[in-house]
Structure 1
Amino acid sequence: MTSESSSPIAHANGLVFLIALTLLVYANSFEGAFVFDDYYNIIESEKIRSLWPPTWFSGQRPWFYLSLALNYSAHELDPFGYHLFNFAVHLAAG
C-alpha cells in the first residue's frame, strides 16, 4: 500500500516546485554584472582564454579555472552565461 504523497507524480511535482522556486530566487542574478574577484578571475585572467593548451591547469584551483575556461569558450565575457552555469550547479547540488 502506497500513500499519495510517495507517488511518482507527487515527487515530480515537488521537483518542479523546487526548480521553479530556485529559478525565482536566482532570477535577478541573470542580468547582474561581474563583481568582486570576477575581474581578476575572469576579465583579466589569461588562464581561461583557451581550453588548449591547458593554461588553466597551472597553479591552484584547476577545476575552478577549467569551469571558467569552459564558460569563456561558450560566452566569452557575457556575465549571463556565467550566472546561468552557477544556477545549474546550485540546482544540481540541491
Structure 2
Amino acid sequence: MAATPREKILARRKRLEAKQNKIKTFQEKLRQEEKRLAAMIHGQEEMKHKIIGRIMAKRMEDDQDLKAWFGQEIEGQLTNRQERDLFSLE
C-alpha cells in the first residue's frame, strides 16, 4: 500500500520537527554549559584576586617601602574619590 502525497508530507514534517527539537535541546544544553563555565571562570577570578590580595598584604607586612607606597596610593584614590563626591554634590 503506497503512501499518499499528503502522508509523505506529514511524515517529512514530523521528521523535520524532530530534528528541530533535537537542535533546540542541544542549543539549550550549550547555553547551560556556557553559564556553568562562566560562573566557574568568575569564581576563579575572584579566588585569584583574593590570593593576590593576601600576597600583597603579606609583602606589605614584610616590606616597609611597599607599605608606604601602597598607603600613598590608597590616600590618593580616597582624595580623588572625595573630590569627585564634592563636585557631584554641587
TM-score (norm: length of structure 2):
0.34
TM-score, with length taken from structure 1 = 0.33
If asked which structure has higher relative contact order (CA below 8 Å, sep 6+), I would say 1
